């Protein structure tokens, strides 16, 4: 096959691809979402399922996405159309690209609101408001933020503008450099927080919560209603763990595919995917190890929900020497981590508009940013004036999160696995991977049998089939 070129340019090296993809993967999902969903789903057993999903579903599908993107060299919609033509498959496979674009809009719409919380906390930390705060103090600080539609709206708008700005400039310029320094810095600050957590006297409790599995928690979800514990059997935790494996690795919607389309030809896809998944997992586990000891030391609730890190970390920063500086720095870095993730959520749509509508990147970014900003209003209000508006017992934010992470991304991933494992000729994928022998066979087995099977089983379990 004659090799295609991307009209959007190429990463300058494999390292840059790895940085960009790690920048996409490491974000609010690791530091904000992983701890709170682990807390809500009972800890250890949930973490194990999540790790298994990363290894058996996430890594093979990530390799598949990079491979498809690099072969197609276009936006995911056009890549899937081109490859299905080439492989003699139905054109309808470009639906993977379309559903990805939609998922990207939905995810970014709430991602931007939560990133706005992080921005607000940069201001609070910078103003020294954490010092001496106790558990009640951080809680009221958090509630006063999410209870105010005006404030949430302002921060959401600011974050959206930041994302549009980078995407308009082109993913390659600017961001490459930022990611090179900021990711390692975030990592170091997480280590510092883990160090703090070790001195809370509750480090062991934290580790136990994270790593000692109680598998009954996966089957039963229990809630205390009016003093009575009510447990119901549901597929919830399994689905949430699998959905999060997709979310945290940015899989199932074309983000990694579009980044793969800018990847230089002679780069190892397998090596890159494994490295990105390892770094991403490490960051999530460190965040968990920092947060849960603080939760237990302060008598907080692990299942406190989306506000968890905002109600725990300020206590730590408020009580440690240099906390003013470190606290500000931490939230700045969290914003950068979210920023480098958010742009990958709209890049597939922007690339498509540039290819098919001959728009400039600037115009495309404005349109997409504006649309996403409007959808984001639903999330802004779901924390205050619409907090009682519920569908299936979920607020607008809960619903979007559930729909994207637990349904759209795994479904997209399933289709990607079927396409690359069953429809694409073996010779094509093997040529693109340039991988020989057992490494290729391992991927082939996983993507054909293991990953799709796991996704289907978890789906069937979630709808209560067994
Ligand atoms: N992975 C990012 C995080 O953990 C979020 C993200 C960026 C994402 N791009 C994505 C999630 C694409 C799903 C799909 O914060």
Q: For residue range 138-194, what is the model confidence (pLDDT) as tens digits?
A: 999 999 999 999 999 999 999 999 999 988 887 676 566 667 777 888 888 899 999
Q: Is the pLDDT of residue 252 over 80?
A: yes
Sorted by sequence, the CB contacts under 8 Å of residue 174 that are 6+ apart come out as 166
Rounded to the nearest angstrom, the distance between the alpha carbon of 56 and the centre of ligand 1 is 19
Which is the closest atom of ligand 1 to the Cα of 25? 1
- Residue-wise pLDDT tens digits, 13-70: 888 889 889 999 999 999 999 999 999 998 999 999 999 999 999 999 999 999 999 9
What pLDDT shows up at residue 177? 65
Q: Is the pLDDT of residue 375 over 90?
A: yes
- What's the mean pLDDT in 72-93? 95
Q: Which two tokens stand for residue 270?
A: 């397998």
Which is the closest atom of ligand 1 to the Cα of 337? 15
| CB of 141 closer than 8 Å to CB of 133 | yes
Cα–Cα distance, 317 to 162 (Å, whole number): 26
| CB of 24 closer than 8 Å to CB of 276 | no
Cα–Cα distance, 32 to 284 (Å, whole number): 9
What pLDDT shows up at residue 232? 54
Cα–Cα distance, 406 to 238 (Å, whole number): 10
Q: Which residues line the pocket of ligand 1, CB cutoff 6 A?
A: 24-25, 27-30, 107, 247-248, 250, 253, 255, 341, 344-345, 409
Give this prediction's pTM: 0.94
- What's the mean pLDDT in 273-295? 95
Rounded to the nearest angstrom, the distance between the alpha carbon of 29 and the centre of ligand 1 is 7
Tell me, letter by letter, the H, E, C secondary structure of 52-117: HHHHHHHHHHHHHHHHHHHHHCCCHHHHHHHHHHHCCCCHHHHHHHHHHHHHHHHHHHHHHHHHHH
Whose alpha carbon is nearest atom 4 of ligand 1? 29
Mutational test site, ligand 1, from 20, 22, 27, max ligand atoms within 8 Å of CB: 27
What pLDDT shows up at residue 233? 46
Which of 78-82, 218-222, 290-294, 307-311 has the least mean pLDDT? 218-222
Q: Is the pLDDT of residue 366 over 60?
A: yes
Rounded to the nearest angstrom, the distance between the alpha carbon of 32 and the centre of ligand 1 is 12
Which is the closest atom of ligand 1 to the Cα of 246? 13
The angle formed by the CA atoms of residues 77, 81 and 86, to the nearest 5 degrees, is: 145
Cα–Cα distance, 115 to 63 (Å, whole number): 28
- What's the mean pLDDT in 266-272? 90
């Amino acid at each position: 096959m004659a090799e295609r070129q991307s009209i959007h340019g190429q990463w300058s090296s494999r390292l840059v691809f790895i940085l960009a993809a790690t920048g996409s993967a490491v974000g609010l999902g690791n530091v904000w979402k992983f701890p709170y969903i682990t807390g809500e789903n009972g800890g250890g057993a949930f973490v194990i399922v999540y790790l298994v999903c990363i290894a058996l579903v996430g890594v093979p599908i990530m390799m598949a996405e990079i491979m498809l993107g690099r072969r197609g060299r276009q936006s995911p919609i056009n890549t899937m159309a081109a490859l299905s033509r080439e492989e003699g498959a139905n054109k309808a496979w470009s639906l993977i690209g379309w559903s990805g674009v939609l998922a990207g809009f939905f995810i970014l719409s709430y991602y931007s609101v939560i990133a706005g919380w992080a921005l607000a906390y940069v201001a609070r930390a910078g103003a020294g408001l954490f010092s001496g705060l106790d558990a009640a103090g951080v809680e009221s600080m958090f509630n006063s933020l999410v209870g105010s539609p005006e404030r949430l709206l302002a921060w959401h708008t600011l974050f959206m503008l930041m994302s549009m700005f980078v995407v308009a400039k082109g993913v390659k310029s600017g961001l490459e450099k930022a990611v090179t320094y900021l990711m390692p810095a975030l990592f170091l600050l997480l280590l510092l927080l883990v160090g703090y957590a070790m001195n809370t006297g509750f480090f062991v409790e934290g580790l136990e919560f994270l790593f000692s599995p109680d598998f009954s928690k996966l089957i039963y979800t229990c809630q205390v209603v009016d003093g009575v514990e009510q447990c119901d059997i549901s597929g919830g935790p399994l689905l949430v763990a699998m959905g999060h494996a997709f979310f945290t690795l940015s899989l199932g919607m074309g983000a990694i595919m579009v980044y793969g389309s800018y990847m230089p030809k002679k780069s190892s896809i397998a090596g890159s995917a494994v490295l990105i998944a390892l770094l991403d997992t490490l960051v999530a586990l460190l965040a968990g190890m920092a947060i849960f000891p603080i939760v237990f030391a302060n008598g907080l609730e692990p299942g406190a929900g989306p506000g968890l890190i905002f109600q725990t970390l300020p206590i730590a920063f408020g009580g440690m020497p240099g906390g003013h500086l470190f606290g500000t720095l931490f939230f700045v870095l969290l914003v950068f981590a979210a920023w480098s993730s958010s742009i990958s959520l709209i890049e597939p749509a922007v690339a498509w508009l540039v290819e098919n509508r001959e728009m400039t990147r600037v115009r495309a970014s404005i349109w997409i940013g504006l649309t996403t900003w409007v959808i984001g209003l639903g999330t802004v209000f779901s924390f205050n004036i619409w907090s009682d508006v519920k569908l299936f017992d979920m607020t607008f934010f809960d619903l979007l999160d559930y729909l994207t992470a637990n349904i759209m991304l795994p479904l997209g991933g399933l289709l990607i696995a079927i396409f690359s494992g069953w429809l694409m000729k073996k010779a094509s994928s093997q040529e693109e991977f340039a991988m020989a022998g057992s490494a290729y066979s391992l991927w082939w087995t996983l993507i054909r049998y293991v990953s799709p099977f796991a996704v289907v089983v978890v789906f069937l379990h979630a709808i209560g089939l067994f």
